[in-house]
Each structure stands twice: as C-alpha cells, then as structure tokens.
Amino acid sequence: MAVLKYIKLTLPMMLASLTFYAPASVSADELDGAKIYQQHCASCHGEKLEGGIGSSFLNHIWNYGSHPQLIGMNIKFGIPNLEMPGFKEILNDEQIGTVVAYIVEQDAKSELAAPKVPDHIKTEHYNFKVDILADNIPSPWGIAFIDANKALITEQSGKLYLMLNGVVQKDVIKDTPNDIALGGQGGLLDVALDPDYGDNGWIYLSYSHGLGADGILSKAKVMTRVVRGRIRDGHWVDQQVIFQADEKFYSKSRGHFGSRFTFDEKGRLYFSVGDRRVPKQAQDLSRPNGKIHRINKDGTIPEDNPFVGRPGALPSIFTYGNRNPQGMATHPETGDIWSAEHGPMGGDELNHIRAGKNYGWPEITYGVNYNGTIISEFTAKAGMEQPIIHWTPSIAVADIDFYNNAILPKWQNNLLVSSLKYRDLRRLVIEGDKVTHREMILKGLGRIRSVTVSPSGAIYLLLEDPSLILRLTPES
C-alpha cells in the first residue's frame, strides 16, 4: 500500500517531468494511459503488461533507466540497439506521460507469481508427465544431447552447463569463450554436437563476439561467431574459430544474431545470422547478415555452395533475405532444412530452406514496423520465396525441432514450434510443403526459447520469464 500511495502522490511529477515541449490539446481518451498502452504498446509488451516480443513490465528491471523521464525518453526516441521504436511522431509528451504513469503504477501493484506448471498434460494422441528440472538458470538458450541421460545447456550470460540424468550440475564448464559481448539479444547462444561426436568429441557454440573497445565488451562492436571445441576434465579446450565475419561487418547493435544450428545428412553445418537490424543488408550477398550459411565442420566451404565463385558474394551463404531465424531443424526423413524466422510486428515465418533462394526480407513481408509504419507494400515478388506459413500477428516464433522417435509413431516427422510472445508449444503436421494440422500442446508457462527432442523421445523445453527447464515424458 505504501508503494501505491507513493505512485499516486508522484503521478503529477511524472507527467511534469516529461514536458519537453508544450503539448497539443487532446481529448480525455487520448490522455488515458491504459488506452494508449493497449493501442501502441500491448502488441509487443502484452495486453496485461506480461511481456511478449518485448519485456514484461511487471516486477520489471529497468535496464535503461527507471526514472519516469528516462522511461518517457525511451518511448519518445526509441532504444537504437533494441527493437524499441520511437513514438515521437505518433504521441505527444502529455500522452507519453500518461502511459508512463500507467506502466509504473501497474508495475508497482504487481506481485507477479510464477505460473503453476502442471504435473501432466493431455494432447490429441498422447499424455505426458511434466517435470521441472531447473528453475535457477536465468536465460537458458540451447541444449544438445550427448546421449539420453547427458546434455549440454548454454546460458546467455556465457555459461555452459552439463546436465546428468535430469540434474543440471552446479559446476559450469570452465574456460568457455571470454570475448562474449552481452546485452540485448546477445550472449552465448546455440550449442550442437558434431554428428561424429563419439569419434571426435567436437562441440559447436555460437555467440555474440565483441571486438575492440579496449576489452570492454559492453561497448564493443559485435557480430555472430561460431567456434568448436572439446570438453576435457570440465574445461573447454582445443577451440577453433570456424566462422568469423570480417571486422567491417561488426556493429554496435545488440540484436538479430540468429545463431541456430543444424547439420545435414552429409555432416555440413548450417547456421543463421540475423540482419543485425539493418534490413536492406539481408539482400546484399557481400554481407553475412540476414543469411543462412553452410560450411563444412572444420569451417571450410562446400564446393557446391550456391554462391561459390560469384564475384562479390560470400561463399558461405546458403540462402538470403532472412530477417532473424532463431529456429532451424533437419527433416528426419527427407534431410531438408527448415527454419523459423522472426518477423517484425506480424509476419513470423516457417520456411523450407533451399540452396540459393531469396526469402524476401525486407522486399516482401507480411509484417509492419513496431510503430505501425509500412516496411513494404508487397507480400510477394517474382524470384522471392513464400513462407510455408506465416504468423500474423507474430507469435515471436523461436526454436523448432522435428519429432523423430519410435515411441510416438503418430507424431513422427511432426514439427514442434516454440513461441516467445504467446508462451506456447505447438505441433504442426507437415505433408510436403503444406501444414495440414496444428495442435496447441502447452500454453502460458513462460517464453519458450528452445524445444528439443531427446534420444529417449522426451521433449525438453528451455523457458525464460520465468526461467525453467522442463521435460515432457510420454506416458504409456
């Protein structure tokens, strides 16, 4: 109650602190903070401020300043290194002041409780037991299984964990990369095991690599980097850099790193690099961003890559016109590569990835900018691929994995899809290049960053907000 009283007493000061210029006369509705929030903010931050594409405002940590004037300035001018647009052309300062007051008041009233995780869930064909394996890893991002009982888990702050028999070990793997630039969407990202891991022990990591700034990684220019190494006696050893862009392609943006991995049947490594928030560069074959790349496991370039020998084109590029793919998977029957790609506001995509194809971003899109302005008037153009499906409004599609285990024959080759915004797990039945059926498996527990089918046939989910590692085990 004391906090609420403080908020009520200080609302006039909040409004006053946002007066950068004399506001125009507006109606009462146009000064209703809740209505302004629903119209301009809810699509990213949730109708109940619970988060979606953007962060939750409940029990919020204000990384860019908690003073009402700073919050107002972020709304007005945007945050350049995040996907936070400026609203100075849409809202005047008085309107911004009312929405800031609304957000701060709701945050002060919030007692955000962690959602209750069910013990069991039922689906159309199967029932699952649900276990919470961990709730103390802040931002788990990727998981790779060594065998049915052993896996590696990346955490965005740079930690690499070993999980044994469903228990995340307290001691992290030591000597992992120390040049990870944190902030925004950056950090230690995906992890994958070599298809011949049993023979060679190679493990692949992707992360936001920082350059310069006198070793201060928070100020460094950044780009997606891929390394491989081995684990010996709890230490990361034998590291080799297998993909690093030229320094001229690094930038201070902390977003759109892409970074999911998958391998094809010949053992070649595919990985994504987002457009790094410069959309037009996704169409530029001389740049690595906005692309899906294919390399051999040692970092060399396959001779049959589609742009090998083309003047000015990077030979590692497999596809282009990709905005920010954070889900990739190899079809267990056909061997084809599939990806899930974040759109802007609207236009998330599921794509069947084929050599040399242009997936259109930003020339064609089913989405719009976060402030509602038009990116492109076109959803289709000659020579550009259409998504298999698109999600509009966005679900903030994240990781994907094909189900490939004999214990659930009715799910064989079905695609599992995770969502950040709507906090759900979905199952898609795919026949050829068509999605013929969809089922909601799990909803409302948290932002599902990763979904992976283990060798035992259990499904592992990595969640954030709240941070959880869940295991869904099929029941007989």
Question: Which are the catalytic amino acids?
Answer: 256
Contact indicator for 342, 367 with CB cutoff of 8 Å: no
Cα 279 to the center of its chain, rounded Å: 17
Please give the C-alpha separations between residue 312 and each of 307, 315, 317, in angstroms, as whole numbers. Answer: 9, 9, 12
> Strand runs (DSSP E) across 249-396, as ranges?
261-263, 269-273, 291-295, 317-320, 325-330, 337-341, 348-353, 389-391
What does the block give as tokens for 32?
């209703």
| Angle (CA) 291 297 298, round 5° | 105
**Peptide bond just before 393 cis, omega within 30 deg:** yes
What does the block give as tokens for 368?
């719009």
Please enumerate in sequence order all residues whose Cβ is within 8 A of that of 150, keeping only pairs 6 or more positions apart, or say none.
162, 163, 164, 165
> Strand runs (DSSP E) across 369-432, as ranges?
389-391, 397-402, 415-419, 424-431
Distance CA 432, CA 128 (A): 28
Q: Which of 375, 451, 460 is nearest to 420 (CA)?
A: 451
Query: Which residue type sits at 333?
Result: E
SS3 203: strand
Helix (H) or strand (E) segment spanning residue 229: strand 221-232
What does the block give as tokens for 292?
């899906």
- The percent helix, strand, coil of the chain (3-state, each to 5) is 15, 35, 50
Half-sphere exposure of 463 (CA within 13 A, CB side): 29
Distance CA 8, CA 2 (A): 10
| Angle (CA) 149 142 258, round 5° | 155
Helix (H) or strand (E) segment spanning residue 74: helix 68-77
